[in-house]
Amino acid sequence: MYKNFGLIGKSLKHSFSKIFFENLFLDLHLENKYKYHLIEIDTPIDLPNLISLYKPLIGLNVTIPYKQQIISQLDFIDYQAAKIGAVNCIHFTQEGSKGYNTDIYGFEKTLEALPHRPLQVLIIGSGGAACSVAFVLQKLNIPFVIVYRKELPPVFSTYSYLTNTYLFQDFPAPYLNQFDTIINATPIGMYPNIDELPPLLYDHLLPSQQIVDLIYNPDETYLLRLARSKGCFTINGLTMFRHQAALSWDIWNRNI
């Protein structure tokens, strides 16, 4: 009988998770014992039903749009995940289900790959990934501003290093060049919608700026391609993905 792992989300065409974990299973000679599933869900998540379908279910990754919705169905939540209100990793044990946020660690590793420590950051987005980014910046005492499309989760009101918030339509275009680091934490531009980018006026980008896109498929989004043409340093979400996935594996193996 296989031990099961998987990723749940609404659309998973962009995901490298199955490839990552299947290669990991091969490297560890576990391909005949473990399986990793892509589980697309377009209705509210029924966690007990998922558990019954994939017995024995050891662990799940969680992606858009369920990082916040899944919390109410878990038995326990790690402190950091509870603090930011977003879970992207679940471990099932005899004691019950516990949620974690491995995006925090993944983003910390992404910051280490930048040429310099950010001084003033613009976060694009207000979803689960943006919550993780804000948590790390707050911990590092780095001021940040958020520009968003729909709504701002209550967790952002707890961050003293959040200096301002804007809806996309209210963001003053020249203000873009006041940030040494800009981070896209939305799925805008992700495969298959590769010709999209967040609605800001990028004519104001400067070569001195660092542009981070947490999307990793495609490996160079429209945003990163545009930023590179302006002379900016650019980095995609592959570093974050690899580190958060590796941490998920460590979490799941605590009780295997």
Active site residues: 67
Query: Which residues, 6 or more positions from 52, have their beta carbon under 8 angstroms from its beta carbon?
Result: none
Mapped onto helix, strand or coil, the DSSP state of residue 108 is: helix
Q: List the 34-40 sheet strands across, edge first.
A: 34-40, 3-9, 57-62, 89-93, 96-100, 76-77
Paired sense of beta strands 57-62 and 89-93, if any: antiparallel
Find residue 98's DSSP bridge partners: 76, 91
Question: Residue 158 and residue 238: Cα distance in Å, rounded?
Answer: 29
Strands, E assignment, the chain: 3-9, 34-40, 57-62, 76-77, 89-93, 96-100, 121-124, 144-148, 162-167, 181-184, 210-213, 233-235
CA distances 226 to 44, 47, 175, 223, 234, Å, are: 37, 41, 18, 5, 10
Cα–Cα distance, 164 to 156 (Å, whole number): 10
What type of residue is 48? P
Cα–Cα distance, 214 to 35 (Å, whole number)? 26
